Amino acid sequence: MENKNTNNYQTGEPLFTWKAHDYHPHERGVIWMVVFCLIFGGTALWTFIADPKLGWITSMCILITAAVYFWIHRNGNQDHDIILFEKGLLVDGRSFTTWSKFEGYWFIYEPGITVVNFEYTGNKGKKITLQLGEVNPDDIRLALSRIDLTELNNKKEGLLDLWIRILKL
């Protein structure tokens, strides 16, 4: 798979490639939408009633936050090309990161979600999270066994990430 943008990088040979979404595209039904609107609308109404003089500012911020959330997540199922090379990781042919910048990688695979995280060296908690979709984590492990990158088995999903996934945000 030759990408014209990879010519700017010293990538080495491709090890594995797949397509993935920005984030897991949750199926949100009517009930989820109603509850979401009731929570945000109710909170906005409560802040306005609690302080009629300045509560409208908080109410507007809450409603703008809800609108921005829906605007950002309207197209979350766009596919991105991900290629693991001998010398690094390339996402959509534009952001190449060498393996030397990563401490290692780890997986989250639960029913309905499979993610690989590439943890940066020295940056506490900074990572690149990539959806695997239908890709088997063992295929990624096999590809990464050809380079010197450690699987970090002691890593767990963060509490905020867990709540985001549970609430389908």
Q: CB–CB of 99/87 below 8 Å?
A: yes
pLDDT above 70: residue 164: no
Do 37 and 56 lie in a common domain?
Answer: yes
Do 111 and 70 lie in a common domain?
Answer: no
**What is the average pLDDT across 94-102?**
86
pLDDT above 90: residue 29: no
Say how many domains are in the chain. Answer: 2
6 pLDDT band, cuts 50/70/90, is very low
Alpha helices in the chain (DSSP H): 30-50, 55-72, 137-144, 159-166
Q: CB–CB of 117/128 below 8 Å?
A: yes
pLDDT above 80: residue 42: yes
pLDDT above 80: residue 47: yes
Do 84 and 138 lie in a common domain?
Answer: yes
**What is the average pLDDT across 6-28?**
72
pLDDT, residue 2, reads: 44
**What is the average pLDDT across 5-31?**
72
pLDDT above 80: residue 61: yes
**What is the average pLDDT across 47-66?**
90
Q: Which domain holds residue 91?
A: 4-24+77-166
- More reliable by pLDDT, 80 or 50: 50
Q: CB–CB of 15/85 below 8 Å?
A: yes
Domain end marker among 48, 75, 102: 75
Do 83 and 53 lie in a common domain?
Answer: no
Domain end marker among 13, 47, 75: 75
**What is the average pLDDT across 38-52?**
91
Do 103 and 152 lie in a common domain?
Answer: yes
Roughly what angle, to the nearest 10 degrees, separates helices 30-50 and 55-72?
160
Do 19 and 40 lie in a common domain?
Answer: no
Do 99 and 44 lie in a common domain?
Answer: no
Cα 100 to Cα 24, 81, 118, 122, 130: the distances in Å are: 28, 21, 11, 11, 18
Do 124 and 151 lie in a common domain?
Answer: yes
Alpha-carbon radius of gyration of the chain: 20
Angle at 67 (CA atoms; ends 57, 163), nearest 5 degrees: 100
Do 103 and 39 lie in a common domain?
Answer: no
pLDDT, residue 167, reads: 62
Q: 3-state DSSP call for residue 141?
A: helix
Do 108 and 129 lie in a common domain?
Answer: yes
Do 117 and 102 lie in a common domain?
Answer: yes
Q: Which domain CATH number covers 12? A: 2.30.29.30
Do 44 and 99 lie in a common domain?
Answer: no
The pair of three-digit structure tokens given for residue 158, joined into one six-digit string: 């963060």
162 pLDDT band, cuts 50/70/90, is low
